[in-house]
Chains A and B, each alone.
Chain A
């Protein structure tokens, strides 16, 4: 079955070499390919949003009513918090003398997602022209979203926080216990390398530690939902529900350092 004539063997070798060459040349092809796809992806994204609006009309109507009542309730709360806000503004003004946040943010829309199930990434509609570079951090008002791993002229690729290859040095806000948060490709994250006697309980808030100097300190990562011991029994791990739902996020803010 697999006895091949000499000519076929040569042809196969040439094709295999070509394929290998193309695979290694991929990095040079990425920018033009992503550039070509940007308008199509933006169009599909727009169409998808419109179609979803029509298909889920009833659900949206009910959701609108619920949200309207929530808005009314929040409006009254907002009035109460106005006083607190004014006080906070004054205190912040004082604090600003000592410390400035210095975060410069670039808003971007997600126009594409990972084409396979083994990674969790997203393509955004901003790139080098907007000052976005590899290694920058993406956040949302809810917390940490991920990190820019590739930047083309008009688009960038973000590795989302639930990707297993993304590690974030984090601490438990209450006890300042350090650990490394990784994605699992599922809906939760895992915080590893916690000592056996780590002071961590369910419900604890986990934020970035700032130790890696990639992620600014204090960005919300998520909340601890479960704690366990690893197979060796030497370390513990914590399951964390991320603050940001990576599967439904549509816009991000990229921090320009």
Chain B
């Protein structure tokens, strides 16, 4: 039952991410709600379930992006594994640590996607490249407590 509820949350977050209100878009940056959810799933669920949610979220995100290769499906699974592994080495209970983890994951996700785009020969000015790296990552990290709370409420 809980898992179905979480699946409904994933659907709602995906719909919200796709139609994020324009007045909440800062410097063309939108938060990656699905990435936050995947990280929250690693913190509050067992690894296998979190990984399944990671794959679902990655597939959902890729389904709405141009291009035929599911890079987010791979990246979200990797973040799942890396954060799960990290959680066994350090304490991830503190809010600031979680904020930092979300920021780093979003930042790395952005770097990989951005470099992939540039590698395809797309011209992206340096200023816009840096802006796309930093601002959406910060925005994603800033919204993470809300989704963490929601996931905690459903799972605990």
- Does B124 lie within 8 Å of A123, measured CB to CB? no
Q: Render B38-54 as a binary contact track against A, CB cut-off 8 A, 1 for contact.
A: 00000000000001000
Residue A102 CB within 8 A of the other chain: no
Query: Digit string of B4-37 for contact with A (CB within 8 Å is 1, else 0)?
Result: 0000000100111111111101001110101000
Q: Nearest residue in A to B34 (C-beta to C-beta)?
A: A115
- Contact with B64, one of A40, A115, A163, A164 (Cβ below 8 angstroms): A115
Interface pair A27/B18, CB less than 8 Å apart: no
Dominant secondary structure of chain B at its interface with chain A: helix
Give the residues in chain B near A214, CB-CB below 8 Å.
Answer: none
User: Do the beta carbons of A23 and B123 come within 8 Å of each other?
Assistant: no
Q: Which residues of B contact A40 (CB under 8 A)?
A: 11, 15
Instruction: Point out the residue from A112, A121, A190 that lies within 8 Å of B123, measured CB to CB.
Output: A190
Size category, B interface:
35 or more
Cα of A102 to Cα of B18 in the assembled complex, Å? 34
B60 within 8 A of A: yes
Is B155 in contact with chain A by the CB < 8 A criterion? no
Q: In the complex the two chains form, what is the Cα distance from A149 to B68 in whole Å? A: 11
Instruction: Decide: A123 and B117 in contact? CB cutoff 8 A.
Output: no
Contact at B28–A247, with CB atoms within 8 Å?
yes
Q: Mark each residue of chain A from 9 to 50: 1 if its CB lies under 8 Å from any CB of chain B, else 0.
A: 000100110111011101101100110010011001100100
A-binding residues in B (CB < 8 A): 11, 14-23, 25, 28-30, 32, 34, 51, 55, 59-71, 73-74, 77, 81, 89, 110, 113-114, 117, 120, 122-125, 128, 132, 136
A149-B66, A157-B66, A165-B120 known; 6 new pairs, CB 8 Å cut-off, are A1-B89, A16-B77, A117-B29, A118-B117, A163-B66, A184-B128
Going nearest first, the 4 A-B pairs with the smallest beta carbon separation are: A164-B122, A23-B70, A112-B18, A26-B70
